[in-house]
A and B are shown apart, each in its own frame.
Chain A
Amino acid sequence: MKANWGLVLLPPLVFCMLLLFGSQWVFLRSSFFEDLGIGRLGTEFQLNNYLTVFADPFFFSALTLNFKLAAGVVVCTLLVAYPVAYTVARMRARWAIIFLSAIVVTSFVSIVIKVLGIIILFAADGPMVKTLKSLGILSERFAVIGTMPGVIIGLTHLAIAFMVMMLFSVIQTIPRSLEEAAEIHGAPRWRVFLRVIIPLSLPGVVSASLLLFNVIMGAFVSALLLGGGKIMTLPVVIQRTIMLYSEYGMAAALSAVLMLFVLTINILSVFLVTRMRAASSAVT
């Protein structure tokens, strides 16, 4: 007698797919209808909302800003987080677990609480900013709310914890014996890094970076609170289009474009990583 697990799968499958396809269908459908104001939608199927996304400089600049911000934050975060993840991954197991859990615990704290902390920490009249200003590291006009540096600080903070966690699990899979072998054969430390550690971690680094890129593309809370209505990233524009103007069709078209971006990056990630894995297994 064998249990028929396929039957067990049916109720959750129906429920989850109803939520997934139902909600996606309703919102994608509305992106093809004109907004008539106060949340009403027209009845004629058209593509104007999508044309507006790319033709209207306001929407289009939100899209390009979002892209640049996400790409910049991911590259910076990668450079900052890689040595951290490497050092933690090469600690004694007990310490590595403690350092990793510490970061996992912070990822459970709600993003609004972290943004609140960033606002207090970087307050214009706070002790830290005052010191940095008197040392000439920060310009006299620095403010954390409503400025690009503020949004970058917020997004980087969101990204770094993620990146360290993901890179940790990547680097942990590289056997330490490979590094030792290279060192015994006389490779200096920098060459071990360049020729052993970085190539072996590359597929993981690429997929982690692209995943993080998607997270930052969709980051809404820090962009809105630290942007203070002045820095218009795509998620912020989507929320304003709904909450301020009740233009559901337009908001849906913007969301669809954001989704298209995210999906493309996902497919690219799978494609790149598969190719890299195939290439590296062909070599060995």
Chain B
Amino acid sequence: MTEQNSTDLSVAASGKALRSVMNFNIGRRLRRIVAYSWVGIVYSFIFAPIIVVIGSSFDGGSVIAGRAVLQFPPSNLSLQWYWLIPPSMFQSLWVSVSMAAISAACGIVIGVPAALGIIRGKFYGKTLMGSLFRAPLQIPFIVIGLAFLQSYYFLGDVLGLHMRGTFTGLVLGHVFVATPYVVGAVGAQLQRFNPAYEEAALIHGANRWRTFYRVTMPIIMPGIYAGGLYAFLISFGDVTISLFLSGPDLSPLPVEIFYALDNDFEPTITAIASLVVVGSLIILYLIQRLVGMEVLLRGGGSN
């Protein structure tokens, strides 16, 4: 019920009705306060760990029982952890960025024709085809990691092709989980548009390539951005699959952070993690400025 309605009512109402309308408004306001506070509490819980990582990276740290300990909120401000980040961390960051970029590019190269085929093709079993391409999303990452690791060992035994700990091996594992996001995003975009647009271009004498570049491409472009972004971020943030497929000389940043946390707490990882978070925020902001907020809101997140 709108505010306008309730005032109209209150003017015409008798004393009793007026009281009930006022109660209604007080109840409404109270409900709002409770609801928004709850949203605030839950959102704080969601954001807290990220804010804490960035905040405590500026803490000078204190040594308790022989171990460096960081505090949030920071007690003695210092930038020392940023200067102490070991060069190997930056190498890992570079591995992560290039791996994610190549995985996203491969995902697009494979996913776009797949989406075109599934949505625009005329054949039986299109639903089945769609779910086959979506299948990797249903498999837990740990199972994918194990399955790819064993497949690489198998290839090594049979063909002498050693893929574990290689860049190609890592990328292949990520392409497997990233492609469904591209297929999904591009497919959703295609489904919104009538194939008659393409037929119209063909009828009016455009050849197939021209139709593709001038009609189909502009239609699916937002889907490619969204799918590519998701593919990049899935690969960039993944730990589980990388853990199985990376080797001692080649480990992406999340794996480095994982080992650092599993062994002993190392304050410099808060610094590099903050750099990554802020860097990702800047990239997301730029993408949002370039292609709009909508791109971010398609599809799900990562685990």
Contact = CB atoms under 8 A, between A and B. Distances in A.
Contact of A24 (B64, B147, B238): B147
Contact of B261 (A105, A112, A162, A259): A112
Given A107-B301, A157-B46, A125 B136 contact: no
Given A9-B117, A22-B151, A158-B303, A113 B273 contact: yes
Contacts of B238: 110
Contact of A13 (B52, B69, B114, B154): B114
A23 B148 CA distance: 6
Interface stretch (A47-55, A132-140, A197-205, A247-255): A247-255
Contacts of A9: 113-114, 116-118, 121, 129
B161 interface: no
Interface in B135-192: 135-136, 138-144, 146-151, 153-154, 172, 175-176, 179
A209 interface: no
A164 B293 CA distance: 18
A167 to B, nearest CB: 12
Nearest to B283: A108
Contact of B121 (A5, A109, A112, A119): A5
Interface string A213-257: 011011111001100000000010011001000001001100100
Interface stretch (B32-40, B78-86, B217-225): B32-40
Interface in B19-58: 27, 31, 35-36, 38-39, 42-43, 45-53, 56
Given A8-B113, A11-B113, A111-B303, A20 B135 contact: yes
Contacts of B111: 12
A220 B142 contact: yes
Given A120-B72, A189-B31, A255-B142, A105 B49 contact: no
Interface in A111-162: 111-121, 123, 125-127, 157-158, 160-162
A157 B45 contact: yes
B297 interface: yes
Interface stretch (A57-65, A77-85, A274-282): A77-85
Contacts of A221: 239-240, 258
Interface string B258-288: 1001100100011001001100110010001
Contact of B151 (A2, A26, A123, A158): A26
Sort chain A's interface into a size bin: 35 or more
B50 A113 contact: yes
A117 B48 contact: yes
Contact of B258 (A10, A225, A248, A252): A225
A166 B111 CA distance: 24
Interface in A29-47: 30, 39
B71 interface: yes
A258 B8 CA distance: 60
B240 A220 contact: yes
A217 B46 contact: no
Contacts of B35: 83, 86-87
A279 to B, nearest CB: 22
B176 A19 contact: yes
B296 interface: yes
A259 B140 contact: yes
B114 A19 contact: no
A242 B146 contact: yes
B213 interface: no
A102 interface: yes
B116 A8 contact: yes
Interface string B225-254: 000000001001111100110000000001
Nearest to A248: B150
B16 interface: no
A36 to B, nearest CB: 14
A238 B146 CA distance: 9
Nearest to B62: A125
A252 B244 CA distance: 14
A22 B118 CA distance: 22
Contacts of B148: 23
Nearest to A86: B35
B132 interface: yes
20 contacts: A10-B117, A23-B144, A24-B147, A26-B154, A39-B153, A83-B39, A106-B50, A107-B302, A108-B284, A112-B239, A115-B261, A116-B261, A117-B48, A119-B265, A121-B48, A157-B45, A162-B301, A217-B140, A225-B261, A266-B138
